[in-house]
Structure 1
Amino acid sequence: MGQLENMQIFVSVVEAGSITKASEQLNLAKSAVSKRLLDTEQLLGVKLLNRTTRKSSLTEAGNLYYLKSKQVLEQVEEINFEVSSSKAQLKGSLKVSVPQSFGLSHLMPAIECFLSQHSELNIDLDFGDRVVDLVEHGIDVAVRIGHLKDSSLKAKIIAPVSHIICASPSYIEKQGMPTNIDALKKHCLLRYSQSTLCRLDLIDPEGKPVSVTMKSNHSANSGECLRDLAIAGHGVVNLPKFIVWQAIKNASLTPLMTDYTQPQMNIYVVYPQTRFLPQKVRHFIDYIAEFFGKHPYWEDC
């Protein structure tokens, strides 16, 4: 075996969590895997793994070597893919970070279709709304919503997303339909618990920005929870259309202040900046962007 094969063994040990599990996955003797790791450490002159009888953990040098080895192996995979006469199947693993609400409600159907076309590709989905370091967590691509912070990541817009103010018919019947800013201020806003401000930034019919401060009695860290509270008549909600579009279509929620708009936001896929973008990442990004298109279905509510 050469250095490239040793890199693959090292990556397999890291991802399997132990030499024993990696040897089983690679169908190699445990002693052979251990020897290849030792050969690599001797070649580099540094210790890559802290070994115990049950598991292995990366040293600082080992973590760097793991990340760089992944890049090299992906480059080799890309080269092989491009020169191969058969390009029908993507192979390997793809780790994707996705926001909870959007991921479960809208991204999963797209991912299921993508995997049906690439059955030899293994996907690892990380659901959560926290922003994670892609390189540190070994994530190939992430889906993010809203304004992106400056970073070294590359980004591509996959779909627009608009916010809409709405309330249930029962709430409107009891509290009245707000038709202007002064009337809206008197209503109770159901807000995200991460936000300390009970303020809506709107654009009036003449294109001028307007800020509306409202009272708020209830909050949650889930858009679906806020939507359901609004359906139950507990207040006014301002949410992305991809969360409330079905409730609006079945008349569980009624749009408010429709003469006013809000600043447009976007859904992005982001990925580490590199001279070489793995074929599996490129195909995934292109497929997701095409799946939703420039005017996704939720925007029609």
Structure 2
Amino acid sequence: MQNLPDLEAWVIFSRVAETGSFAKAANLLGISQPTVSKAIARLEKKLGTMLLYRTTRKLSLTPTGEQLRERAMQLLADAEVFESEASALAIEPHGVVRVSAPMSFGLRYLAPLLPDFLARFPGVDVELMLTDRLVDIVAGAFDVAIRIAELGDSSLRSRRLCAVRRPLVAAPAYLERHGRPAHPRELEQHAILTHTNLPTPEYWRFRNETSHDEHAQSVRGRLRTNNADVIMPALLAGQGIALQPEFLVWDALKRGELEHVMRDWAIDDINVNLVTPPGMLRTTRVIALLDFLVEHLAHAPWAMSER
């Protein structure tokens, strides 16, 4: 038992670090001040270093104490969530889930699912914000964000929902008038409809699926917009060629209203990710929503389960 962590002492230390006082920590925890003092001394002895400077007038953290403060407070927060989750196993999830999602995806695929989710989990409320802007989910107090992008290094937790192709498409009437490009360089002669939220909207980077050649093509859009749905009317009306996520065009392709051109050339697929704030534990209401979205979207007609 000697090697087991002294979890009680760590919790007491986190409260002392938070309040800056043995007395306040004792009052907050509902224990005596000597118990607090003994726990800190016990922890310092086990670590072989001081965590606190003590004087008759002031209590402050040592450099080691400063380094360990955040981890101790996270330990307490995780324990509180763990106890809450354990006690909630026998009851339905409840509370508010705050969600951020891209505009087009949210309107087409998330909004239609919400009635079923609310019916399945009557104790859960959903607050949904649709924006094509990359939001800070921690600062914005969001529980879940849907991000259709390659994720950079981050402390955020992510769960890959699926991958999505981004085919080059145009209406058959446009292609009859202007011809079907066979190589990316031929796009210089075509009207381009551009989604400006691409990583490099002015350059489309293609890879040949057969030869594995690569080509970066400069493009200038006749229509430029930060929302892919805005492109659809002009695309269907035969006003140009566009790179569109397959979840927006798969049904139009199936009906023959759009045609996938330059099939030998493609740009990289993009992942649909479910992102949550850092931390090891999630509330039952968040888990319920994540599992629900995977259940309904991971095998959608446009979703690529395997890359």
Aligned residues: 233
Structure 2 vs 1, CA of residues 223 and 81 (structure 1 numbering), >3 Å: closer, same or farther?
A: same
RMSD: 2.7
- CA shift, 1:76, in A, is 5.0
Q: Which moved more, 1:265-274 or 1:173-182?
A: 173-182
1:191-223 Cα deviation digits (max 9, x unpaired): 124567432211112122222223422211221
Aligned to 1:104: 107
Match of 1:78, SS?
helix
Whether 1:122 aligns to 2:122 is no
Structure 2: any 5+ residue segments left out of the alignment?
1-23, 29-73
Aligned to 2:286: 281
Query: Do the aligned partners of 2:204 and 2:218 also contact (CA within 8 Å) in 1?
Result: yes
- CA shift, 1:230, in A, is 1.1
Aligned to 2:54: none
TM-score (norm 1): 0.70
Query: Do the aligned partners of 1:93 and 1:123 also contact (CA within 8 Å) in 2?
Result: yes
Give the whole-Å Cα distance in 2 for the aligned partners of 1:277 and 1:157. Answer: 16
Aligned to 2:186: 183
Query: Do the aligned partners of 1:227 and 1:237 also contact (CA within 8 Å) in 2?
Result: no
- CA shift, 1:177, in A, is 1.4
Aligned to 1:297: 301
- CA shift, 1:132, in A, is 1.6
Give the whole-Å Cα distance in 1 for the aligned partners of 2:136 and 2:186. Answer: 43
- CA shift, 1:147, in A, is 0.8
Aligned partner (choices 212, 221, 240) of residue 216 of structure 1: 221
Aligned to 1:80: 87
- CA shift, 1:250, in A, is 1.9
Match of 2:180, SS?
coil
Which one-letter code corresponds to 2:239 in the other structure? H
Which one-letter code corresponds to 1:292 in the other structure? L
Whether 1:228 aligns to 2:272 is no
Aligned to 1:263: 268
Structure 2 vs 1, CA of residues 166 and 105 (structure 1 numbering), >3 Å: closer, same or farther?
A: same
- CA shift, 1:121, in A, is 0.7
Aligned to 2:259: 254
Bigger CA radius of gyration: 2
Structure 1: any 5+ residue segments left out of the alignment?
1-39, 45-67
Aligned to 2:69: none
Which one-letter code corresponds to 2:138 in the other structure? V
Query: Do the aligned partners of 2:78 and 2:280 also contact (CA within 8 Å) in 1?
Result: no
Give the whole-Å Cα distance in 2 for the aligned partners of 1:241 and 1:115. Answer: 28
- CA shift, 1:165, in A, is 0.4
Give the whole-Å Cα distance in 1 for the aligned partners of 2:245 and 2:167. Answer: 6
Query: Do the aligned partners of 1:188 and 1:214 also contact (CA within 8 Å) in 2?
Result: no
Which one-letter code corresponds to 1:79 in the other structure? A
Whether 1:172 aligns to 2:175 is yes
TM-score (norm 2): 0.68
- CA shift, 1:118, in A, is 0.5
Give the whole-Å Cα distance in 2 for the aligned partners of 1:226 and 1:145. Answer: 18
Identity of aligned residues (%): 27
- CA shift, 1:243, in A, is 1.1
Whether 1:92 aligns to 2:99 is no
Structure 2 vs 1, CA of residues 259 and 277 (structure 1 numbering), >3 Å: closer, same or farther?
A: same
Whether 1:149 aligns to 2:142 is no
Give the whole-Å Cα distance in 2 for the aligned partners of 1:75 and 1:130. Answer: 33
Structure 2 vs 1, CA of residues 169 and 110 (structure 1 numbering), >3 Å: closer, same or farther?
A: same
Whether 1:202 aligns to 2:177 is no
